[in-house]
Amino acid sequence: MVLSRRDFLWQTGAGLLLPLSVHAQGTGSTRFRHGVASGDPLADRVILWTRVTPPTVLVAAAPPVDVRWTIATDPALARVVASGNVRTSADRDFTVKVDAAGLEPGATYYYAFTAAGERSVVGRTRTLPPAGATRVRLALAACSNYPAGFFHAYGRIAARDDLDAVVHLGDYIYEYENGYFGDGTELGRIPQPNQEIVSLADYRLRYSVYRTDPDLQEAHRQHPFIVVWDDHELADNASREGAVNHQPDTEGTWAARKAAAYRAYLEWLPIREQAGPDIRLYRSFRFGTLADLVMLDTRALRDLQVSPNDLAALERSSRSMLGSAQERWLHEQLRASARAETAWRLLGQQVIFSRLSPPGRAVGTSDPWDGYPATRDRILDLLETERIRDVAILSGDIHSAWGNDIPRNPWSGYAPRNGAGSLAVEFVTPAVSSSPLFWDGRAEERAAALMQNVPSVRYMDGGSNGYTVVDITPDRLQADWYFVGNVWARAAIRPYAWKKPAG
């Protein structure tokens, strides 16, 4: 019998090559079955997360639990820099979230939790760098669909030692029953509850199943995550006003479902929470003087989609992708970043930003920014009139890898040869495991045709799963796409494959 890395992780709960293995208890733990996670790092603090598995399946009836947390500068947790106690209960599904402060910038820390006499695995995390830092590396991930395949991309991300953070651009879960969008029967990956998730209990259970995945747990254990949701953490093609996959007559009000999805998201993801019941996931991160990362919510605050053929409605200036408060905030963030002379501005967001249809024509789909051109034009106006340069847009959603220039019009006033006329660039990360955009065996042909039709698309792979690494120095910003092979095979069959951009 060949023991794959995945089997090994299941049996020992620890990665062989990593400095943490000596203290890892892994999935053998009965009280910390969902591992540990960290997220939303700042220069002096980071969110630490775990969940205490109640001793009964009747979660609502289980009593509150006291949890101790410790963060240290060494994997043995001997040099403790902060610690404390926190109580969790059924009210937050026994999840635990701590904002550990008083840390040094650009430093690696180790942390763990104890409860009921048991200790969690030891996690590793990292604060944002100080002013003057000259290198940042971010992994991008999106579209991790549990029944559709194994999370090899997360496993590869976990094994890397060169990342400052993982930026997750949404579709961290999918809301469907098994078989609707990916069938996990043969893989032993049936999402629970095995029905479309609608209630708070449904969303909580769905997160808890995803977080039993060893590759996802290990990625969370090794790196801080900066996350934002896309539609499937709510329901397909969600907006402020409803979703294509929400039927109020049988599934209750959209407001109630959105609130349940938001609550479970905040409970289960290592995200710093904003006060109040209103959905607010947009926030920013300062990587010293090297980069500002602005995370946008293009999902829950947008107007309802209109038909891709209804040009009058599409181009209405009042149509909003962000909502007015977030849009004002974004413009101010971009201005402030340029004023501070930060080297790079990154927009972490969900759906493809690039224009893919010529002006005045129907769009292919009105779900991404092509369906909200007025909001996009106002951003491009700002970049152009105020000469805000060195902007990279990081996107997910479309289950394919893209490297795009962002001219106002790819067919006029733009030179693909040297990028003249482009106001920004866009990097789109492929799906972790959702079926790739081009799944009919003609992926290369279709990518070539797409690049022919839209000259601002400089690189495109529509047939692979994987992740992206964005490597940033003061002088250049580079994206590398890493593909992971067959997500239906239990082990990734090749470490990664780097595909040479065509053309």
Give the nearest distance from C-beta 247 to Fe ion in angstroms.
21
Pick the stretch among 3-11, 97-105, 135-143, 462-470 that binds Fe ion (CB under 5 A): 135-143
344-348 and 291-295 strand pairing: parallel
CB of 172 to Fe ion, least distance (A): 10
- Pull the structure tokens for residue 365: 């789909």
Element (H, E) at 332: helix 324-339
Which DSSP helix (H) or strand (E) runs through 423? strand 422-428
| Closest CB to Fe ion among residues 143, 424 | 143
Nearest approach, Cβ of residue 236 and Fe ion (Å): 9
Nearer to Fe ion, 176 or 329 (CB): 176
Nearest distance from C-beta of residue 245 to Fe ion, angstroms: 13
Nearer to Fe ion, 398 or 477 (CB): 398
Rounded CA separation 232/243 (Å) = 10
Count the neighbouring beta carbons within 10 Å of the beta carbon of residue 318: 7
Contacts of 236 (CB under 8 A, 6+ apart): 175, 243, 244, 245
Site for Fe ion in 366-395 (CB under 5 A): none
Among the candidate windows 95-103, 169-177, 259-267, 273-281, which touches Fe ion by CB under 5 A?
169-177
Q: Name the residue nearer to Fe ion (CB basis): 143 or 330.
A: 143
Closest contact distance (angstroms) between CB of 2 and Fe ion is: 32
CB of 149 to Fe ion, least distance (A): 13
Residue 437, token pair as written in the block? 């955009």
Question: What stretches of 266-363 adopt beta strand conformation (E)?
Answer: 283-287, 291-295, 344-348
Q: Give Cα 283 distance to the centre of its chain.
A: 14
What is the dihedral angle through the alpha carbons of 430, 200, 202, 180, rounded to the nearest 10 degrees? -50
Other CB atoms within 10 A of residue 372 CB: 24
Among 40, 93, 164, 171, binds Fe ion (CB under 5 A): 171
Stretch of 129-137, 163-171, 256-264, 371-379 lying at the interface with Fe ion (CB under 5 A): 163-171
* Residue indicated by tokens 């991309």: 153
Q: Which is nearer to Fe ion, 143 or 492 (CB)?
A: 143
Tell me how far CA of residue 443 lies from CA of 140, 405, 493, in angstroms: 22, 21, 20
State in angstroms the smallest separation of the CB of 260 from Fe ion: 20
SS3 readout for 438-497: CCCCCHHHHHHHHHHHCCCEEEEECCCCEEEEEEECCCCEEEEEEECCCCCCCCCCCCCE
Stretch that binds Fe ion, among 138-146, 148-156, 191-199, 455-463 (CB under 5 A): 138-146
- Bridge partners (DSSP) of residue 470 are 138, 479
**236 scored as a contact of Fe ion (CB under 5 A):** no
Of 143, 321, 356, 391, which lies in the binding site for Fe ion, with binding defined by CB under 5 A? 143
Count residues binding Fe ion (CB under 5 A): 3
Of residues 313 through 332, those in contact with Fe ion by CB under 5 A are none
Comparison of 41 and 170: residue with beta carbon closer to Fe ion? 170
Minimum separation from the CB atom of position 103 to Fe ion (A): 34
Six-digit token string for 61: 């009836």
User: What one-letter code names the amino acid at 326?
Assistant: Q
- Cβ-based nearer residue to Fe ion, 215 or 397: 397
Q: Which is nearer to Fe ion, 182 or 373 (CB)?
A: 182
| In the complex, minimum distance from the CB of residue 216 to Fe ion, in angstroms, rounded to a whole number | 15
Site mask, Fe ion, residues 424-453, x = CB under 5 A? Answer: ----------x-------------------
Closer residue to Fe ion (CB): 40 or 171: 171
- Binding residues for Fe ion (CB under 5 A): 143, 171, 434
